[in-house]
C-alpha cells in the first residue's frame, strides 16, 4: 500500500512480478548450534524440521541445508541425476562436504551462516496471503521450531512482520488513548477546576472519535499503520474548540451574564474563529490527499473528516450539556478570581518592553534554522520504523550479520530477441554483471541465469571447478540450455529467465544500509553496465525495497508542495473572510516560524525526512494556525467595538491567551504520548509536532501582538 500510485516504477514492478514472483513472500528460519553446525544430531533435527515446515499449509517451497541437491552426470549412461549436498547422517563426509559448500557462493550466506555456526531454512509461501492466513502460518512455523529446542532460533518473514506490526498497532492504539485521556484530564482540571470542565470536552471528543471510526467502517476502510494515530490526534485536536468555547463562556459568567445568555454570547463571539480553526485544521490534513502514497492520502482524508465532526459536535452537544447538565461548580469557579489575568498582564508588558530583543532573537533563530534545514537528510531503511530493541529489528540484525541480509534486490533485463539468451557474447556480459553485483554491489543469496549456466557447465563436466565458467561454443550452450529445462532445476531457471517476455531477472539480498547508500551503488551500477555490458542496456532496478526508496526520493517535492497548498489556501480564506490582505501575512508569518525552527532541529539532530516524518509539517501548520485565528478574530472584534489597536491587542492577550496556553498544553501533551511508540515514525510525529506547537505558542505570544500593532498602526 505504500508503493507510489500512478508511478512508472510501481507499474514496472507489478508487471515484473507477474513474469516471476514477489520478492517479499518468504520466511527464513535460522538455527544456531552450540559447537559446529556439522553435527549429526543438530543436522538431523534441522532435516526433520525442514520436512515438517514443508508440510505446513500455504508453504510452497522449503529448502534447508540437508535438502539441498546437486547435479551430477552419470559416467556410464550420460544422464543427469541428483545427489544430496550434505547428508545429516554421514559424519565421515562432513569435512569433504564443508569444503564443497564453502567453495560455492550459492550456499554461504543463504543456507549457511558466514561464521559457520548457523544454518538457515528458506521457505516461500503462497503469494499475497490474507492477514488471517499469514497469522496462522507464522504461528505454525514458530510452533514447529519451538518443538526442537535449538540453542537459538531466528524467524523472519513478511507474514510474521505483518503479525507483529498489527499486534503492536493494537497495543499502542489503546496506550495512546489512555495516556492522552489522563493528561487531558489533568490539564482540563487545572484550567476549569471542575469535573464538568473535564466531562464536557472529553465527551465531545470521544463521540467524534467513535463517529469517525464508524465512518471508516462504512467506507470499507480498515485501520492501518498511519490511521492508528488518528484517534489520538482527534482526541487532542478536537479539544481546541471546546476549550475556547468554555473559556469564553466562563469569562461571560464572570461579567455577570446569566447562563443561557453567556452561552449564546460565547458561541456568537467566537463562531467565526472556531469555524475557521476547524476549517484550516481540516485543510492542513486534507492537503495530504495529494500524496501519491495511499495510506498517507487516506490518513489526511479521514482525519480531516474527524476534525469537522468534532467541530459539529462542539456546536450541538456542548451547549446542550451546559444547559441540561447544570454545572454549578464550574459556574462558581468562573466567578472566582482568575490567576491567569495577572500572569498574562505581566507577560504582555514584558513583550512590549523587549520588542527589539524579540525581533533580533527571532532573526538569529531563523538564520541558524536555515543552516540546519540545509543539512536535512532524506534517507530510509526497510525496518527503521522499529526501535532497535524490538524483536523483529533484532532478528533482521542477526540476518544482516550472519547471512546475506533481508533487503530484496531485483534487476530486470529485457533481451532483444529469443536467440540472445544462447549468445556467448550476451552470457559473458551477463556473467560480468553478476560478478560485479556480488563483489562490488554486495548482493548475496543471488540467483542469476549466468550463474545457472556456469553451475550446469560444471555439472556436465563431472564437477570440475575449472568448468565453472561460461563456455565458448554455442553447441555447449545449447546442451546447457536443455539441462536447465529438466527436473527441479527448471524451477530455478524460470525464476531467472522468462522466455515469453525475453526478460532476465537477477535477484538476491543485500544489507539494509539505507537509500542514500543504494542510490550511490545504483549510479555506479548503471555506469558499469553502460561501459561493460552494451547488450544489457535495457535494464531496470526494481523490487519492493526499491519502491520504498522511490517513495522517499519524491518526499521533498511532495512535502513542499502539500505545505504550499495548505499555506496558500488558509491565507486566501483569511483574506476573503476578513476582507483584508493584511490578514494573510498576519496568519502565515507567525506559523512558518515554528516550522522552520523544527526543520532546522531535524537537520542538526540527524532526524531524516521520510514518509512518516514528512507529514508533520502539514499537521503542525494546520493546528498551529488555530491560535493565530483566535487571536486575530478577537482583535478584529474588539477593533469593531471601537477600541484602539494597542488596547484591543492587550485585551486579546489577556483573554484569548489563556485558551491558547491551555489548548497548546493539551495538544502538545496529547501528541507527546506518541513518543512511547515502538514505531520510530510515530515517535517522531509525537515529538516533532508537540515541539512545533510549543514553539508556535511562544511565537504567537511574542510576535502576533507586535505584528498586529505594525500592520494596524494607522487604524
Q: For the segment 13-56, what is each residue's pLDDT rounded down to a tens digit?
A: 888 888 887 878 888 899 998 878 888 888 889 989 999 999 99
Q: Say yes or no to pLDDT of 375 above 60.
A: yes
Spatial distance between the Cα atoms of 515 and 609, rounded to a whole number of angstroms: 12
Q: What is the pLDDT of residue 207?
A: 92
Higher pLDDT, 51 or 377: 51
Q: For the segment 453-472, what is each residue's pLDDT rounded down to a tens digit?
A: 998 888 888 777 788 899 98
Spatial distance between the Cα atoms of 195 and 203, rounded to a whole number of angstroms: 12
The answer to whether the CB of 64 falls within 8 A of the CB of 119 is: yes
Q: How far is CA 164 from CA 20, 144, 678, in A?
A: 28, 18, 11
Angle at 654 between CA 653 and CA 660, to 5 degrees: 65
Query: Where residue 713 falls among pLDDT bands split at 50, 70, 90?
Result: low
Q: What is the pLDDT of residue 80?
A: 64
Query: Where residue 414 falls among pLDDT bands split at 50, 70, 90?
Result: very high
Among the ranges 215-229, 333-347, 494-508, 541-555, which has the highest mean pLDDT value? Answer: 494-508
C-alpha cell of residue 551: 517513495
Q: What CA dihedral angle connects 277, 280, 286 and 287, to 10 degrees?
A: -160
Q: What is the pLDDT of residue 557?
A: 66
Q: What is the pLDDT of residue 418?
A: 79
**What helix, strand, coil percent values describe the chain, rounded to 5?**
70, 10, 25
Residue partners of 26: CB distance under 8 A and separation at least 6:
122, 123, 124, 125, 157, 158
C-alpha cell of residue 654: 489577556
Q: Say yes or no to pLDDT of 297 above 90.
A: no
The answer to whether the CB of 614 falls within 8 A of the CB of 691 is: no
The answer to whether the CB of 60 falls within 8 A of the CB of 124 is: yes
C-alpha cell of residue 597: 525552527
Q: Say yes or no to pLDDT of 570 above 70.
A: yes
Lowest mean pLDDT among 176-185, 198-207, 528-537: 176-185
- Pinpoint the alpha helices (H) of 411-554: 424-436, 449-460, 474-483, 489-496, 515-532, 544-553
Spatial distance between the Cα atoms of 63 and 121, rounded to a whole number of angstroms: 6
The answer to whether the CB of 101 falls within 8 A of the CB of 116 is: no
Spatial distance between the Cα atoms of 201 and 183, rounded to a whole number of angstroms: 13
What is the mean predicted confidence (pLDDT) over 373-387?
A: 77
What is the mean predicted confidence (pLDDT) over 114-120?
A: 85
The answer to whether the CB of 82 falls within 8 A of the CB of 487 is: yes
Q: For the segment 64-92, what is each residue's pLDDT rounded down to a tens digit?
A: 888 887 776 666 555 666 777 777 677 77
C-alpha cell of residue 79: 544422464
Query: Where residue 714 falls among pLDDT bands split at 50, 70, 90?
Result: low
Percentage of residues in the chain having pLDDT higher than 70: 94
Q: Say yes or no to pLDDT of 493 above 80.
A: yes
The answer to whether the CB of 596 falls within 8 A of the CB of 369 is: yes
Q: What is the pLDDT of residue 52?
A: 93
Q: What is the DSSP letter of 499?
A: T
The answer to whether the CB of 77 falls within 8 A of the CB of 145 is: no
C-alpha cell of residue 67: 535438502
Q: Say yes or no to pLDDT of 213 above 60.
A: yes
- The residues that bridge with 497 in the sheet, in sequence order, are 504
Spatial distance between the Cα atoms of 636 and 578, rounded to a whole number of angstroms: 9
C-alpha cell of residue 116: 559457520
Q: For the segment 227-244, what is each residue's pLDDT rounded down to a tens digit?
A: 877 887 787 777 778 887
Spatial distance between the Cα atoms of 252 and 504, rounded to a whole number of angstroms: 76
The C-alpha cell 558466514 sits at 114
Spatial distance between the Cα atoms of 1 and 559, rounded to a whole number of angstroms: 19
What is the mean predicted confidence (pLDDT) over 207-220?
A: 92
Mean residue pLDDT of the chain comes to 83
Higher pLDDT, 73 or 115: 115
The answer to whether the CB of 49 falls within 8 A of the CB of 121 is: yes
Cα 624 vs. chain centroid, distance in angstroms? 23
Q: How far is CA 469 from CA 99, 196, 458, 465, 477, in A?
A: 20, 82, 8, 9, 11
Q: For the segment 648-706, what is each residue's pLDDT rounded down to a tens digit?
A: 889 888 888 877 887 788 778 778 888 888 888 788 888 888 888 888 888 888 888 88
Spatial distance between the Cα atoms of 573 and 584, rounded to a whole number of angstroms: 9
Amino acid at each position: 500500500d505504500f508503493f507510489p500510485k500512478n508511478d512508472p516504477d510501481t507499474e514496472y514492478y507489478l508487471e515484473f512480478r507477474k513474469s516471476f514472483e514477489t520478492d517479499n513472500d518468504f520466511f527464513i528460519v535460522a538455527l544456531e548450534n552450540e559447537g559446529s553446525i556439522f553435527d549429526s544430531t543438530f543436522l538431523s533435527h534441522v532435516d526433520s524440521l525442514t520436512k515438517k515446515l514443508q508440510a505446513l499449509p500455504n508453504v510452497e517451497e522449503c529448502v534447508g541445508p540437508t535438502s539441498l541437491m546437486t547435479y551430477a552426470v552419470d559416467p556410464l549412461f550420460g544422464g543427469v541425476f541428483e545427489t544430496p549436498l550434505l547428508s545429516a547422517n554421514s559424519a565421515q563426509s562432513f569435512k569433504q562436504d564443508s569444503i564443497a559448500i564453502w567453495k560455492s557462493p550459492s550456499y554461504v550466506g543463504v543456507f549457511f551462516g558466514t561464521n559457520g555456526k548457523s544454518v538457515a531454512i528458506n521457505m516461500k509461501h503462497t503469494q499475497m496471503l490474507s492477514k488471517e492466513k499469514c497469522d496462522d502460518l507464522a504461528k505454525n512455523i514458530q510452533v514447529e521450531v519451538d518443538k526442537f529446542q535449538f540453542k537459538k532460533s531466528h524467524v523472519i518473514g513478511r507474514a510474521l512482520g505483518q503479525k507483529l506490526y498489527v499486534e503492536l498497532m493494537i497495543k499502542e492504539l489503546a496506550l495512546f488513548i489512555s495516556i492522552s485521556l489522563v493528561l487531558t484530564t489533568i490539564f482540563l482540571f487545572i484550567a476549569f477546576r471542575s469535573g464538568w470542565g473535564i466531562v464536557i470536552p472529553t465527551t465531545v471528543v470521544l463521540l467524534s472519535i467513535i463517529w469517525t471510526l464508524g465512518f471508516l467502517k462504512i467506507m470499507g476502510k480498515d485501520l492501518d499503520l498511519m490511521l492508528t494515530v488518528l484517534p489520538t490526534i482527534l482526541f487532542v485536536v478536537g479539544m481546541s474548540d471546546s476549550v475556547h468555547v468554555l473559556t469564553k463562556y466562563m469569562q461571560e459568567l464572570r461579567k455577570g451574564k446569566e447562563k443561557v445568555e453567556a452561552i449564546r454570547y460565547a458561541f456568537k463571539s467566537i463562531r467565526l474563529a472556531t469555524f475557521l480553526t476547524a476549517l484550516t485544521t481540516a485543510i492542513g490534513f486534507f492537503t495530504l490527499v495529494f500524496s501519491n502514497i495511499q495510506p498517507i492520502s487516506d490518513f489526511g482524508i479521514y482525519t480531516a473528516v474527524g476534525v469537522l465532526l468534532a467541530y459539529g459536535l462542539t456546536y450541538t452537544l456542548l451547549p446542550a450539556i451546559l444547559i441540561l447538565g447544570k454545572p454549578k461548580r464550574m459556574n462558581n469557579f468562573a466567578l472566582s478570581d482568575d490567576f491567569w489575568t495577572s500572569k498574562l498582564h505581566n507577560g504582555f508588558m514584558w513583550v512590549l518592553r523587549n520588542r527589539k530583543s524579540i525581533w533580533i532573537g527571532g532573526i538569529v533563530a531563523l538564520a541558524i534554522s536555515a543552516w540546519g534545514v540545509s543539512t536535512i537528510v532524506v534517507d530510509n531503511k526497510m525496518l527503521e520504523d522499529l526501535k532497535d530493541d524490538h524483536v523483529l529489528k533484532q532478528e533482521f540484525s542477526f540476518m544482516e550479520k550472519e547471512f546475506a541480509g533481508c533487503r530484496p534486490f531485483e534487476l530486470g533485463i529485457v533481451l532483444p530477441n529469443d536467440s540472445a539468451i544462447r549468445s556467448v557474447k550476451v552470457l559473458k556480459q551477463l556473467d560480468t554483471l553478476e560478478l560485479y553485483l556480488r563483489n562490488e554491489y554486495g548482493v548475496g543469496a543471488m540467483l542469476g541465469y549466468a550463474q545457472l549456466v556456469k553451475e550446469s557447465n560444471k555439472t556436465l563436466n563431472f564437477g570440475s571447478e575449472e568448468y565453472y565458467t561460461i563456455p565458448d561454443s554455442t553447441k555447449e550452450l545449447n546442451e546447457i540450455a536443455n539441462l536447465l529445462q529438466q527436473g527441479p532445476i527448471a524451477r530455478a531457471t524460470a525464476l531467472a529467465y522468462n522466455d515469453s517476455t525475453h526478460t532476465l531477472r537477477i535477484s538476491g539480498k543485500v544489507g539494509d544500509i539505507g537509500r542514500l547508500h543504494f542510490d550511490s551503488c545504483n549510479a555506479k551500477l548503471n555506469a558499469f553496465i553502460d561501459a561493460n555490458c552494451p547488450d544489457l542496456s535495457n535494464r531496470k532496478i526494481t523490487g519492493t525495497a526499491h519502491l520504498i526508496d522511490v517513495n522517499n526520493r519524491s518526499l521533498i517535492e511532495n512535502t513542499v508542495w502539500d505545505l504550499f497548498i495548505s499555506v496558500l489556501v488558509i491565507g486566501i480564506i483569511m483574506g476573503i473572510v476578513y476582507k483584508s490582505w493584511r490578514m494573510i501575512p498576519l496568519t502565515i508569518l507567525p506559523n512558518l516560524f515554528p516550522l522552520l525552527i523544527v526543520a532546522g532541529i531535524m537537520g542538526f539532530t540527524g532526524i531524516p525526512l521520510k514518509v512518516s516524518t514528512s507529514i508533520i509539517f502539514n499537521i503542525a501548520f494546520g493546528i498551529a494556525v488555530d491560535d493565530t485565528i483566535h487571536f486575530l478574530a478577537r482583535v478584529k472584534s474588539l477593533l469593531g467595538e471601537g477600541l484602539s489597536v494597542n488596547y484591543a491587542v492587550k485585551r486579546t492577550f489577556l483573554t484569548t491567551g489563556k485558551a491558547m496556553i491551555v489548548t497548546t498544553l493539551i495538544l502538545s501533551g496529547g501528541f507527546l504520548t506518541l513518543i512511547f511508540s515502538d514505531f520510530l515514525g510515530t515517535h517522531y510525529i509525537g515529538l516533532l509536532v508537540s515541539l512545533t506547537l510549543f514553539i508556535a505558542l511562544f511565537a504567537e505570544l511574542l510576535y502576533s501582538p507586535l505584528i498586529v500593532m505594525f500592520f494596524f498602526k494607522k487604524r
